[in-house]
Structure 1
């Protein structure tokens, strides 16, 4: 698991850097404007429409496949996959028809504050982008299939294709026609799907598509429906919260949606790089442990995953809050990205950072419930979080505007995560909560000290060197400080990493 997570981390790192380059190119070309707002909404609509079903299917498919493979063998499990593919194609067709007919009211739902010109542009973009739903649905299933087979690298690589095509389409839209924006979005998913096909056809994976529908899989399809219904709510809490935020943001200011989007994507960059890397590798393994009734194994894996996420996310949270404005200026402060966009985006990033640990652990804990084929608990907690987010967004946006929307999302995420901790402890018993709390306190103290030192150096160097170079040096000093502190604090996960590095160095020395 650790080896797979390391490889996946490296691939995800380069993919996320390319993804962030995509956001930088968009901000450079269009800043926080009506065009960028319309484009962001048009790309949000298809992912949101399918996410209710797609994420739920992906999370329920893995434990059910593991159960079938354990009870009936690989061939029966692959027949079930084939039936699921047919179902996804059917649902995607219905979703596209509905979205195409009711495009205008759907766009208004996502951004009720758009003026006539921006609304018209968003509707046009959305009528093109919704055709990506077919490929989004199939990618969900096939990525999960490859992950079950222990192939984490291949699904991770499709992010390169996605980002490369999007970046190209943004650049071409400036030279030719802005319709290149939604066309490029659809093309990016088509190429991802085509990239996966050769790997699915490999004999060792033993999956081959067939048009035949096997009736023997009906029980498992009913099971996936049963698990997916509450999962639709539970797995899509982030999407629902982002829709609430964007709808209110469209009423606050032109470019408000874009500012939130840039801040969300920076937040997602961190989660995708560290959190999703850990959960993606851990989920199939925990699902198999559950099938084999290895609850102790689940607890140990969960404990290590929580401490690892805390170790990575807490210092980044402190750093993002301290350097929110210089960081946004460093990444986006050029081209059409003006001072107003800088102010709104940095404010949103500051308040989103508060909930970063909540977003991260919520994702991890939800996956554990899905492994136990319990989607009701995450659904109930998600419903509470959504209600809290809506109420807080309405209240806080009056006082903090864009920042209030981000703060509301952070508070609801933290509250939801605390509820999941309580529910999971009641479900599987104690999983060394005391050890998790001690580790959390150590990491928090180290992160705060790191933040103070890096902030001191930033302002000490600010008047002598370039702003961006000052930020980079301060972050590097902070990172080194943090690593030194946590090493001497004797945090278990760090000791494991250090020992592995020592073994590698000694083995290399012996070879020489």
Structure 2
């Protein structure tokens, strides 16, 4: 019996090791895809700044794009976040057929909810716009109404995309969800270019078309898993009811989080002309970094965390949670330090062309600097929130989100008076730091002895390496600025400081880095054997 137990433990450990290696491969592969997608997405922002800069039209366009995204996020985030653990539960208890019926029921429910939202926005368009940009008046408001009444129809398609994306993740298909932004960005870039030739109304139709193309892109992949859509609408389904009940706190939490966006844009519209655009460009760069380094990790880890919780595998959960924290920190901490040190040259390199002038660059770089302070806090908050959701505890993240919004509003009103657009970004970062700390405290009560002490020791090494990297980046940039110009100096400083960071984390022997290097060595050796 003892030998059998040892064999089981050994086999289980080997299986878990293979599982972690496979997870690392998935994360790295998705990260490579995400690099390309995010660069394309950022190219979209550059095209927008080239044609419209930080102007009235760009402000209207961004608000028309933000409104459907923000409104549906109130419902979509709650439904999708709870869909993954409930689908896993249905599949385990009732099998694949019932799980597919449940998926169809959720999709039909989402379409009905989306239709109601669309009708409400169409009726109250001016009032909705003024919630997002109280500074809009006259022709600017009229144009925003026109744009929003076109873009709002994208909500109906977004709902289906959310569910189908989650479905693919449950099937361990992370490639298509990672690629889904590819057709969207291509359509948006083309529509921005076309609007300069055929009229600015094309911008609004481009927003709508970009969402439709995403749905058309994802459907073939879903059908490959023999997904059979059913025309079913059963509000009495206990699984749907459980999902909706769990969604309510998340919807509330997401609503108050989106209130942050609303308040930021509202105050920005009154702080300075082009303030919404400047804040948006900095925020988008912040989201770019988050999406590049954080989203691939969360995308792969979250379905597995949910499964660990359902299976009662607490040891596996702790290991996966700490791995996620460390991998995110390894990438986000140096990125945030680099963004702070090189904020102005980064913004000038990316946006300083066309209608984007030096005053817009000053506003945007100031916002980027202060957004960068909170990058890690925002990333870790996303990880911790999903752990609570996996435990079907949606109350704790909701209360945390409400606290965050209250803090953000108070700090916004105070800091924007003294720091302008930068104050809005700093308020976001400070509130994120405080709420993340509160989530950690709450998580320690739920998951005991999860090895945070060892994790923090590793994080200290990462922070030390990142600070030294930042110093190198600053020295290299300033030394080369006069002789070779800002753009070349920026590129060289990023390359040199990036190499320094890699060497430092290897010298400091951060285990996760050593594990990744080992994975690469094994891959190279495997390729050599195949050639041989």
Task: Please give the range of the TM-score, normalised by the shorter of the 2 chains.
Answer: over 0.9
Kindly report which structure 2 residues correspond to 1:281-300, keeping only aligned pairs within 5 A, or say none. Answer: 281-300=300-319
Asked if structure 1 preserves the Cα contact closer than 8 Å seen for 2:341 and 2:473, the reply is no
Residue of structure 2 equivalent to 1:240: 259
Asked if structure 1 preserves the Cα contact closer than 8 Å seen for 2:101 and 2:232, the reply is no
Asked if structure 2 preserves the Cα contact closer than 8 Å seen for 1:55 and 1:236, the reply is no
The 1-side partners of 2:24 and 2:521 are apart by 16
The 1-side partners of 2:255 and 2:521 are apart by 42
From the superposition, tell whether residues 18 and 238 of structure 1 become closer, same or farther in structure 2 (CA, over 3 Å): farther
Residue of structure 2 equivalent to 1:270: 289
Q: 2:218 aligned with 1:206, yes or no?
A: no
Residue of structure 2 equivalent to 1:302: 321
> Which among 467, 482, 494 is matched to residue 463 of structure 1?
482
Kindly report which structure 2 residues correspond to 1:306-455, keeping only aligned pairs within 5 A, or say none. Answer: 306-455=325-474
Which piece of structure 1 moves more, 422-431 or 345-354?
Answer: 422-431
Kindly report which structure 2 residues correspond to 1:130-145, keeping only aligned pairs within 5 A, or say none. Answer: 130-145=152-167
Residue of structure 2 equivalent to 1:163: 185
Residue of structure 2 equivalent to 1:501: 520
> Which among 27, 48, 58 is matched to residue 36 of structure 1?
58
Residue of structure 1 equivalent to 2:123: 101
Residue of structure 2 equivalent to 1:120: 142
The 2-side partners of 1:430 and 1:13 are apart by 35
TM-score of the pair, normalised by structure 1: 0.98
Structure 2 alignment gaps of length 5 or more: 1-22
Q: 2:275 aligned with 1:256, yes or no?
A: yes
How far residue 236 of structure 1 moved from its aligned partner, in angstroms, is 4.8
The 2-side partners of 1:480 and 1:100 are apart by 52
The 1-side partners of 2:477 and 2:212 are apart by 45
1:195-230 CA distance string (max 9 Å, x none): 11122222xx23211213357x61111111111110
How far residue 242 of structure 1 moved from its aligned partner, in angstroms, is 1.5
Q: 2:216 aligned with 1:197, yes or no?
A: no
Which piece of structure 1 moves more, 226-235 or 88-97?
Answer: 226-235
Secondary structure of 1:463's counterpart equals helix
The 2-side partners of 1:347 and 1:91 are apart by 39
1:351-408 CA distance string (max 9 Å, x none): 0000001111111111111111111110000000000000000000000010000000
The 1-side partners of 2:222 and 2:422 are apart by 44
Asked if structure 2 preserves the Cα contact closer than 8 Å seen for 1:129 and 1:182, the reply is yes
> Which among 63, 66, 89 is matched to residue 85 of structure 2?
63
Structure 1 alignment gaps of length 5 or more: none
TM-score of the pair, normalised by structure 2: 0.94
The 1-side partners of 2:100 and 2:525 are apart by 45
Asked if structure 2 preserves the Cα contact closer than 8 Å seen for 1:29 and 1:174, the reply is yes
How far residue 271 of structure 1 moved from its aligned partner, in angstroms, is 0.6
Structure 1 runs (4+) greater than 2 angstroms displaced:
212-215, 233-240, 504-512
The 1-side partners of 2:280 and 2:166 are apart by 27
How far residue 124 of structure 1 moved from its aligned partner, in angstroms, is 1.0
Residue of structure 2 equivalent to 1:223: 242
